[in-house]
Structure formats: structure tokens, C-alpha cells
Chain A
Amino acid sequence: MAKDELAKEFKYIGTRPDRPDGFDKVTGKAKYGADVAAVGMLHGAVLRSPYAHARIKSINFEKAAKLDGVKAIVTRDDFPVGIDGDTLKLLENTIAGEFAYYDGHAIAAVAATSVHIAKEAINEIEVEYEVLPHVIDVDEAIKPEAPVVRENAGDFSVPEGCSPNVASYIEFGIGDINSGFDKADLVKSGRFKTEAAHQGYIEPHACMAQLDHDGQGEMWVCTQGHWYIRQMCASVLGLEASKLCVTPSEIGGGFGGKTTIFIEPLALALSKKSGGRPVKIVMSRAEVLRATGPTASASMDVKIGITKDGYLTSGLVEFRMQGGAFGGSPVSEALQCAFASYNMPAVHHIGYDILANRPRAAAYRAPGSPMAAFAVESLIDEICTDLNLDPIDVRLKNAVKEGDKSSYGPKFKKIGLIETLEATKDHPNYSISLGDNQGRGVAAGYWMNHGGETSVSVSLAEDGSVNVTVGTPDIGGSRASIALMTAETYGIPYNSVRVNIAETGALGFNEPTHGSRATLASGKAVYEAANQTISEMCKRVAKKWQIDPDAVLWDNGYAKPAGPNAGDFSPISIKQIASEMDQTGGPIAGHHEASIRGVGHSFGVHIADVEVDPETGRITVLRYLVAQDAGRAIHPSYVEGQFQGGAVQGIGWALNEEYVYGTDGCLQNAAFLDYRIPVASDLPNIDTVIVEVPNPDHPFGVRGVGETGIAPPLPALANAVAAATNVRLRSLPMSPAKVLKAIKTGSDGC
């Protein structure tokens, strides 16, 4: 499916070698967050609020402190005062001050000589709480009379008369939506709801930290971005950032949830209080589910106008998203993604970021886009059914293309939505015939992608192999992809490149592996840095040949004379240049630092086939196809892995993942047994089509591919269920009970 306009021939890019970190990961040798240990290390444990909302009247840890083996106990009193703004929210979420805002909110932490003693000490801490009214559901929280989560939480943007739980308000659009609706032959609207979903990474948060009295410290941590950890820890603890050195472990998944701090400042504070001993904290699964970031829950209204031949004339969305006790739901990203796939004359967006007594929302794969896709792509499907139009054709008619201004402002450069839609239309999965109680659903999805602050270095080893140092932890195979791009740039074998992930002291600031950026941004920076070393090698060879540096060119691992006029010299290999570095001017290394732009947006289209058991409401996914524009697939297996992983997380969100709260506001299903992410046997093979419309702003055409794939499954499955049952579910998850009720009563679940 190569739609390649850069039309380059590649030697390494597009091949599928084993990933360099693969062997260690499958044999258990790789070191994850909980695998580090140090001499004299203490173990930390965290006391968490058993209430959804409470005033902390007193904390008494006298008994706990007397236990043999307890070395330090910290509460909010051990953290700096006088902090405000976003840093205060981070600190408040790290450790409660006057109030506990959700079930699982950290109250105190203990460091002891064993995990058992630390846990015992936690149970000995006496906290006096005054339980306060709480609110969990987004539609309840936005009511003016709702229990107030945090006083004065709303910012300047919040209109008069809103619930005190509205943290911020956003509104934007283009064109005249009313005249757009007037021109439509059909105007349809609907209300949609999605539950919060957890990222569900396999590896719970873990870190080991050491902090001296003089503010010098070190940390080993499982994270997507160690500079973020450094920055956030330094700010909530009042440290100087450069004095804290943070090393990332291997990472067992993050999906956005490991771009912020939870236990890390607690470990540092405990270490300092225990006289600088290293302190390790490892979360349990229950702690992960109660206290770390799910994405937001959402309640959404959509209105769309369309002509009878399938042209979208106008769109209006109002999204209300709950992002926990501190705000920060991805409502603005959701609004940006809502109509991004379509070229519409008029669109208008309204958004509310709402507080509730739930854990602070963290980023989750294409934050906001899945909810938006669920609402908009479901409604478009309803329209296609009403007008008897083919869902792919309607999307093709309205699809954005190069030069179009997007629904949220920026103009699109070369993009691949049309090619992706065509790929799904041509795919056999779109025409396989279906049986009784079976249905097919189509949906598109979008993610804008991100470049971000990036710093890398490249150095030549004495034998001509190459060391690459990046600051983006390898989650989905980025070492392999970066090694392939490096090999391609130099013209040396893939195995002669080693990609290292460096600690914070070794490079300039790097944003995390988030925003689908690691392969795109670190790859682009490595290309620049490698080219610096190539210029240097050509310069040294020119000196040797006593010709102008411009008369030397680099070709496939060799310095060569640029042409017959340059002189008659035999090519010199990278190996030889490397072996002579000492005599020719010393080490050869390059580095590149930039805020990477030109990310190349990525569109995806999914087709889901399901069967619904009409007697139990249980959904079986029969077939599933992901087609997505990768720009260029550097390592196709890891691109497919991203497509499949995104689809599976979206399928889980659509079908059975759900936060179950009791009337007391406490989470009842803080375990994978009852927080039902899909297991392998729940899924068919996820078929993939890699569409390649190269990103013109990337040296190899890369677009980020990590996130888009989670958006289309939510509507694709709802559309498939509607086709199978003739009832439309507008509320996720589509758990068996909800589906059965819909079949029996026609209720849409909202």
C-alpha cells in the first residue's frame, strides 16, 4: 500500500529486524521499575483515603513511628508551602493537605526496612476524617447544586451561573452553523456518554529515590518521561532541577498515564527524612486503579446537518468532561478532534472541564479523541442509516485533504485520510457477508500528533559502529526504529547501531514518549545529529585527500570523491575513518536540540464485525480491521503493533471497562478481575493495513502512529452493534446488561 511521493529507495527502513531490547524483555532480564535495588534501601508504603471526600482533621503517627524498622514518615507537613497554580494541584494530588478529594488519595507515606513493616506502620497511622458530600458522575457534578469538590476551582473562562465544579470553559468555531443547519436535508442530534477508562499498563508505578539534605538526589523510575519527573518533583519539593538526576527503567506500558508524578516525590521526601537512604515504592494494582490517572468520563451533545446526497453542512458539539478533583480533562483536545476528519462549512464547539471526586485524569492515548469519535462518528452512522448511504462513501465525500483548513484552525499539509478510506473500502473485510445477529460498523478517527522538545546525541565508536543517545523511553519499539533510521542515514548495518536511553544529566530537556512522538521527533533529531557527524567525516577525509570538503560526498557507509573533478581517490569506509579519529582531530560526535515541528497528522479508519447474543447481550468481536496512515512505516511490525494495541484498548473501553463506584463514592472494582480489560481470547486477530502517505516535514516521511488507533473502536463497535440489533447504544461501555436492556426496551443506555 505504498503511496510514496518521496519515492526514495531504502535499504533498512521498512524492514523488520528484531528489536534490540526484545531478547532481554522476553527472557525476563530487562530491568523494570521494581527491579532496582540499592544497599541500605528502605521500602515505602502509602496510606490512602478511604473516603471520596473528607476533611483531614488530624493525623497521628506516633504509634507507627515506634514500630521497629520504621525510618521515616511523611505527610503534607514535609512539603513546601507557598506553592500555587498548577504546581499546587500536582502537590495536592501527590499528598493531601486539608482535604482528601477521592478514594485512594495519598494521605501519608512510610519508609521502613521491609515492605511488611511499612504496610504494618500504615495501618497504625490514625487519621481523623470529617466525611464531606461527594460527586462522581459528570452530569451530576455540573448541576449548580452539586456538592462542591474544591472551592474556587473555576478559572476566568467560566461563565456566570455555572456549577462551582466547572474548572474551565472553552468555545470556538468557524462559519455560520445556523445557516448550515438550514441548508441541510437532515439535521440529527444525540446525547452520548462514555465512562472513564484506565490505561491498564501491565507494570504498576515503581521508583527508587535518594535525596540528600543538600537537595542533591537521584531517582530510578518507570516513566514515559524522566525530564517531566525531574521537573515536577523539583517543583513540588522546591529543589533545583539540575541537582536531581533521573534514570528511566524499562517500561511495561504507559499510554499517557506515566507522564506525571504520583509516588516519586513521596519517595524523595522519605529518603531525605531518613537521612538520605534510598527508598523504593512499588504500587499495587489496587493503588494504580484507585489513585492513578484514568482518562475522563464524558457526557456529550452532538448535532449534525447533512444534505440528502451526503455532504455535511454544519456541526455543533457540547462536551462535558470530568477529569477528577483537579480538572484537566482533555476536553479541548476532544473538541479539536470532533470534526477534524471532515471539511465542513460551519462547526461550533463548546466544552466544560468539570471536577468530581475521582482520581486526577492523566493523559491516555489520543486524550479526548476517542470520546469525540464516539459521539460524532456514531451520529454520522445514524445519519447514514437514515439516508441509506454507504458509511465509507459519506466519509470520502467529506474527507479533509491537503490544503483544507481544519475544523479547529490549522491548515492541513499532505494527509492521508482519503487513501485510508479507500484502503478500507477495497479490503475484503468490508464485503464478507454476515449472518444472523451480526453487524458491521465503520468509523474514522484522528490524532494531531506532537513533536515537542527533543535533544539527542550521536557518536562514532572507534570501530565504526554508532552510539545513539536519546531521551525518549522505548515503549513500542522506538529503539529499533531509531536504529533503522540511523543505519539508513549512515549506510551501515542495523546491528552496528546501539540506541541508548539516557538519564537526565546526559542530554538537554526531552519531553516524554507521548503524543506519538518518539520515532518522529527523536528520529528526526538523530537524523540531524548523524548528518553533523557525516559532514565532519567528509571534512576529515577532504583534509586527507587535500581537496575541498564540498568535493567529498557520503554514500552508503563510505566517503567518496563527489565526481571525477574531485580527484581519483578510493572510497574510505566509516570503519577506517573511525579508527583514525585520534589522529584526525579527536572524537566524532553530533547532537541536535529542537522543538520539533511538522508532525504530520494521522487518520485511521476501522471496520468492526460483531455478533450479539440476543438472549444475554454479550458481544463477540468477529473481525476487526485497522487502516491508518503511518506516513512511512520505519519498522512495519511495530507500526502494526501500535495499530493493534490502540484498537484493543478502544475495544475494551467500548465493551466492558468501567469504573464501578458505590453510593459512598468509593471504587468497587480496583482489580483487573473486575476492571475488565479484554483478554487475548476475547479478540480476533486485528487485521491491519499500513497506508503510507509520507509526512513532507520528516526526513523519512514519518507520522506518529501511536494514538489514533484508540479512537475509532468506540464508534465502530457501537455502529456494528446497531447494525446487528437495530438498537443504538449511546452510552459506553456496552456491557451485556446494557445491551440486553437495549434489545428488550430500546433504551440507548444514557
Chain B
Amino acid sequence: MQYHSPSSFNEAVAISNSSSGLVKYLAGGTDVLVQLKIGTKSPDHLIDIKNIPGVREISLRDDGGYTIGAAVSGAQLTEHKELSKKWPGLVEGMELVGSAQIQSRATLVGNLCNGSPAADSVPGMIVAGASVSILNSSGTKDVLVEDIPSGPGSTSLENGELITAINLPKRKDYEGDAYLRFIPRTEMDIAVVGCAVNLSLENGVITSAKVVLGAVGPKVILAHSAADCLVGTKLDGNILSRFSAKCSQIAKPISDKRGSEEFRKDIIGVIAQRAAKKAYDRALGNN
């Protein structure tokens, strides 16, 4: 195995394109190194992106949105007060990943590109409307985060394509997001189910809603019809139980060692409902 430490994105992509065998980019390494150690993936080339200038920076763009460098760690996100205030749901999704040690390394990009349907930060990025900047040999492009996951352990990225940053849109008043997951313990578990919700309000009434379910399908599920039943409401009456039932219906989980299909279908509704309430409270308070 060969280890590379390029000093520019272009160099990284060039190394990837000129190397044969299994080539892997390395961000925080909390997936790659574990897979290497237990022998599930043995790359021939590891391309570490952490030494590329700017890759660990969070910057506010002129349009009011944020650009998050590809190697920004979970801990950096949490410590960024402005970002955490504007996108608490996105940040809390990432904050759930691992422990303090893992937090100081693990990245949003790594979480996304590892391709796990249970990845905790991905639902939050999608409901936020985030996109990724992708560099390949023919140039750069912008793709929505929701278009990256393609199945368990796989993404729509082509060989050699490198994500250079994550872009968040500008946050408006009266918007709020939340991410909740269910695990049997309090930490160091993989989500049995997860759900992110982002809401925009006008006079307390929901004007737009995005709902994404995690760990209940081969990849994250964009629950449009569940989100639609929240629009035009204040989460009052029996809206939440209708929403909850809708989420359970949309979920297509499997049974495995982490939970049965039946249990996952049951609790995705509960978790989604709680996430919606939390996002709503945040949106009300966010002006």
C-alpha cells in the first residue's frame, strides 16, 4: 500500500487517476483505517487530503451561505458558534458520530462517501439543501448531497472524483432543523433509525418542510409525502400522528442484528415525530 499526501486538490485527483488497484481518499480516516485494520478493504493507494491548504476551514460566502472544507472535523463544526446556531440539526447529526476521539477526526464528507444508510450527518445535510463541490479530471461541478448516496456502501461518485467542500445555503429567519436517531445505548452505536427535519415558518405556519429518514432503506429516504402533510399546519391536531404513520409507511427497513424490520418501522415514526417537534420549536425561536 502506498500513502500519498498531495498539497492540492488537482494533485490529489491526478494521483488517483494515474494509480492502479484500489485507490481511496483519506479524510479523517475513521472509516478507512478501521476497514483497513479489520481487512474488509485493503487499498493499494491512500490519498490523504488533510494537507491541502484550506481543507479544514469553514468560511462564510458572500451569498450568506457556508462552505465547509472537506477535512473539517466534527469537533470543529460543534465549536463554530454561528454555524451551530443556524444549523443545529446538521451539527447535532455530525456530533452524534462516535466519541470525543472520533469527533476530532471524522468529517461530513467521509460520513457521506462511506455510503452507510445509517450515516448520522447525511439526513441533516440533505434537509438543509446542501450540495458538494466535486473535482474530477474534466473540472468541477456542484451536486446536491441527496444525489450522492446510491446504496449500502456505495455512492454516485465516479472513480477518482473528489469532494472538495460542502456548501450550505443561506439560513433565513423562522427556519429550524433537527436530527434524532434511535440507539439502544447513549453513544457508540450505529443508528437503528434516524430522521432529519427542516422547516420554514410564516406566522407559525409551516410553509415548507423537508424530511429525510436514515437506516430504514438501502440508502437515505427523502420522505416527500410525509413532509407534505406538515405544510400548512402548526403541528397541531392529529397532524403529528398522521406524519408519524406516514414515515412508518414510507420506511423500507431490513431486519438485521441492529433491529428487526417491525421494530424499525415502529420507531421511525416516533423518532420522526420528535424531530419534527424539535425543528418546529427551533424555527419559532429563530429570528
Question: What residues make up the interface of A, taking CB atoms closer than 8 Å to B?
Answer: 119, 284, 286, 615-616, 618, 655-656, 660, 668-669, 672-674, 676, 678-679, 681-682, 735-737, 740-741
Contact = CB atoms under 8 A, between A and B. Distances in A.
Contacts of A615: 267, 270
B184 A656 contact: yes
A618 B182 contact: yes
Contacts of A736: 182, 184, 263, 267
Nearest to B258: A674
A656 B270 contact: no
13 contacts: A119-B39, A284-B38, A615-B270, A618-B182, A668-B256, A674-B258, A678-B185, A679-B185, A679-B187, A736-B182, A736-B263, A736-B267, A740-B266
B208 to A, nearest CB: 27
B267 A740 contact: yes
A34 B155 CA distance: 39
B260 interface: yes
A736 B38 CA distance: 29
Contacts of B257: 660, 668-669, 674
Given A737-B263, A740-B267, A656 B258 contact: no
Contact of A679 (B38, B188, B271): B188
B238 interface: no
Nearest to B266: A740
Interface in B258-287: 258-260, 263, 266-267, 270-271
B178 to A, nearest CB: 17
Interface string B239-254: 0000000000000000
The residue in B187, B188, B189, B190 that gathers the most chain A C-beta atoms within 10 A of its C-beta is B188
Nearest to A738: B263
B186 interface: yes
B177 to A, nearest CB: 22
A656 B263 contact: no
B187 A616 contact: no
A740 B266 CA distance: 9
Nearest to A615: B270
A681 B258 CA distance: 20
B182 A616 contact: yes
B240 to A, nearest CB: 12
Would you call the interface of chain A mostly helix, strand, loop, or mixed?
loop
A616 B189 contact: no
Interface residues of B, number: 20
A735 B263 CA distance: 11
A656 B184 CA distance: 7
A740 B271 CA distance: 14
Given A673-B190, A737-B260, A740-B266, 6 more contacts: A616-B267, A655-B184, A668-B256, A674-B190, A679-B188, A735-B184
Contacts, number: 49
Contacts of A681: 186-187
A676 B189 contact: yes
Contacts of A668: 256-257
A679 B186 contact: yes
B190 A682 contact: no
A681 B189 CA distance: 12
A618 B267 CA distance: 11
A740 B263 contact: yes
Contacts of A119: 39
Contacts of A655: 184
B104 to A, nearest CB: 18
Contacts of A616: 182, 267, 270-271
Contacts of B263: 736-737, 740-741
B188 A618 contact: no
Given A615-B267, A737-B260, A740-B263, A656 B185 contact: yes
Interface in B34-54: 38-39
A660 B259 CA distance: 11
Contacts of A735: 184
Contacts of B182: 616, 618, 736
Given A668-B257, A669-B257, A737-B259, A676 B184 contact: yes
Nearest to A660: B257
Contact of B185 (A284, A286, A676, A741): A676
B264 to A, nearest CB: 9
Interface in B162-196: 182, 184-190
A736 B185 CA distance: 10
B97 to A, nearest CB: 13
B267 A673 contact: no
Contacts of A286: 38
Contacts of B39: 119
A618 B189 contact: no
Nearest to A619: B184
Those 3 A-B pairs whose CB atoms lie nearest each other, nearest first: A737-B263, A681-B186, A660-B257
The residue in B39, B190, B260, B266 that gathers the most chain A C-beta atoms within 10 A of its C-beta is B266
Nearest to B99: A679
Interface string B188-213: 11100000000000000000000000
Nearest to B37: A284
